Amino acid sequence: MYKGVTTQSLYILMSDGAKIAIDLLRPRSAPADLRLPTILIIARYWRSFALRGLTQSHRAPIGPRKPLADFLVPRGYAVVVMDSRGSGASTGSTPYPFNEREIRDYGEVVEWIIRQPWSNGKVVVSQQADIDQYAEFLLPGGIPSEWLIRTWQHTNEALDRNRFPTEWASGGSERRSLLIRMLASISSRTIKGVRPVDADRDGSELRRAVVEHGANGDVAAYARAVTFRDDPFGPSGVTIEAFNTTRYHRQIERSGAAIFTWGSWFDGCTADGVIRRFASYDNPQRGVIGAWSHGYLNHGSPYCTPRSPLRPPLREQWQEILEYLDHYLRAAPDQGQSEKALVYYTLGEETWKITDIWPPAGSTTERWYLAAGNGLAREAPTVEEGSDIYQVDFEATTGLTNRWRTQDGVSRVVYGNRAGADERLLTYTSLPLSRDMEIAGHPVITLLVASTAEDGAFHVYLEDVDEKGNVTYVTEGLLRAVHRRVSDQRPSLALFVPYHSFLRQDGAPLVPGEVAELRFGLLPVSGLLRMGHRLRVAIAGADTDTFARIPAQGEPTITVYRNRRHASHIELPVIRS
């Protein structure tokens, strides 16, 4: 529609005196009186870079979001990318993520946008957002995501000091792929730091901002002090609930705003977030769940090779976004799209599907029992005695390219053959399937266990074993034993698995030697297991490269029961053809 992109960088003054740095991108060839809809992108990780050897006027924004902006701007959109308070070139500090003052900044930036002569008054905020910072990001299943917590803090500290994070450049070629893409257009030039605003010719405003960033909270230290959801997160005394989007459920619904969310079966808990929003909000919605890494670095389906092309390619994803934005930001008010649709990718079948309900129509629940001889069977056990003893192997791992580590933004997600990894786990495997099985929904595991320790981490993997013995990761669930009590309260948003409040009042340490029930959900998935393959449930007590060790010391032994009285089992949401 238009040729070229103009970029302007400036400060917006907040009501409390803080200055928020933004990049404003608009079509270069658009008429002077053209009023544009605006996409607002909120960045914690530098809105754009300054490069050594370039003058101020050439400090063009680069980075992972530029391609989408370059796609949208020539098609009649303005794009505003902002450094959130306490980050990038913005002044101020933030005591904890997504605090109320920071959220107020977002509103004030929107108000500034709609007052501009180039704005048509319509603004969309584009971002990836977890729905529950405790259970989906910092402590999935109540288990500290130690690697991510540590990496996040190291990255934030470097950025807030205006230094390029070593985490972005370290590691093998799999991890460097995003960096290479980001820097491909600048040849041998190096990144100097965050881009100052255009008026900050001598860099004094940026230096002031960097000093103020020193007061930012230490999210790693705060997170490590949290066991229960209602524990204080840092010295301010707030809990993680203070910055969960769940607390804004009613306001979001009342707004009537259309919601377009993207996630992946292999990007942390983002697929679960898409589904829970889809099932909870009455707003017009479109959700997309693919099989890719965070930032769409690679096609992550474990049934494909790591070098398989994205499905669909980024360009087609952007086109889908453009059509959605065109509808809501350009259509007449009475042409609003009211339907709800969830578009999702089925692993193994490698196809896209669409539904207006979750689980999809035709889904039924099948119960599979842990059985003797490390078996997995449809028939309930009839024996009076039956159990397996497992010495927790604290070297067990899902590797360095799993669904949790890709959330650093630079790591691809790659699950290879897990046959070797399973040798460290307690596994239960079915006979070959007599026909294809499509799993679509949230599996639920019920474990009857006894431990020699008062606490522990339980990691459960659902896997597909082919005729040659190759083991394919399908999904997983995890729960810290002290959080095992299932609450009789109703969660604020739809939940398709047993509800664990993670509150201190519901904490229940194990009694060593006594049988306890652990009933918890696995993360949602859509996957097709072929006839002749076998279904496997694998149980671990650790994921050493990703999660904290629980208990911190000792060598606990776990007994898993599989008898008539204590029948451990998994419930699978299955669609049979």
Backbone angles phi and psi of 412, in degrees to 5: -75, 160
Question: What residues have CB less than 8 Å from 322, skipping those under 6 apart?
Answer: 71, 72, 75
Same-domain pairing of 53 and 201: yes
The Cα 318–Cα 314 span in angstroms is: 6
Average pLDDT, the chain: 90
The Cα 141–Cα 502 span in angstroms is: 8
Residue 529: Cβ within 10 Å count: 27
Give a yes or no: residue 211 inside a domain. yes
Each residue of 189-247: pLDDT tens digit?
577 899 999 999 999 999 999 999 999 999 999 999 999 999 999 999 999 988 888 88
Average pLDDT over residues 310-323: 89
Q: Give the residue among 345, 449, 341, 433 at the shortest CA–CA distance from 388.
A: 449
DSSP state of 292: B
- Confirm if 567 and 367 have CB atoms less than 8 A apart: no
Give a yes or no: residue 512 inside a domain. yes
Each residue of 258-302: pLDDT tens digit?
899 999 999 999 999 999 999 999 998 999 999 999 888 899 999
Q: Give the residue among 107, 353, 379 at the shortest CA–CA distance from 248.
A: 107
Give a yes or no: residue 315 inside a domain. no
DSSP string, 85-138: TTSTT--S--SSTT-HHHHHHHHHHHHHHHHSTTEEEEEEEE----S-IIIIII
Each residue of 494-538: pLDDT tens digit?
999 999 999 999 999 999 999 999 999 999 999 999 999 999 999
Give a yes or no: residue 121 inside a domain. yes
Q: Verify cis geometry, omega within 30 degrees of 0, for the bond prior to 333.
A: no
- Encoding tokens for residue 301? 């389906």
Average pLDDT over residues 68-94: 94
CATH number assigned to the domain comprising residue 534: 2.60.120.260
Same-domain pairing of 368 and 221: no
Is residue 575 predicted with pLDDT exceeding 80?
Answer: yes
More confident call, 539 vs 51? 539
Q: Which of 226, 241, 268 is the last residue of a domain?
A: 226
Domain enclosing residue 134, as ranges: 1-226
Q: Which of 226, 260, 289 is the last residue of a domain?
A: 226
Report pTM.
0.93
Same-domain pairing of 40 and 188: yes
Each residue of 18-57: pLDDT tens digit?
999 999 999 999 898 899 999 999 888 899 888 776 544 3
Q: Which of 163, 192, 226 is the last residue of a domain?
A: 226
Give exposure, 284-323, as e/b (b: 16+ Cβ within 10 Å). bbbbbbbbbbbbbbbbbbbbbebeeebbeeeeebbeebbe
Give a yes or no: residue 268 inside a domain. no
Q: Verify cis geometry, omega within 30 degrees of 0, for the bond prior to 312.
A: yes
Tally of domains within the chain: 2
Give a yes or no: residue 497 inside a domain. yes
Residue given tokens 């090779």 in the structure block: 305
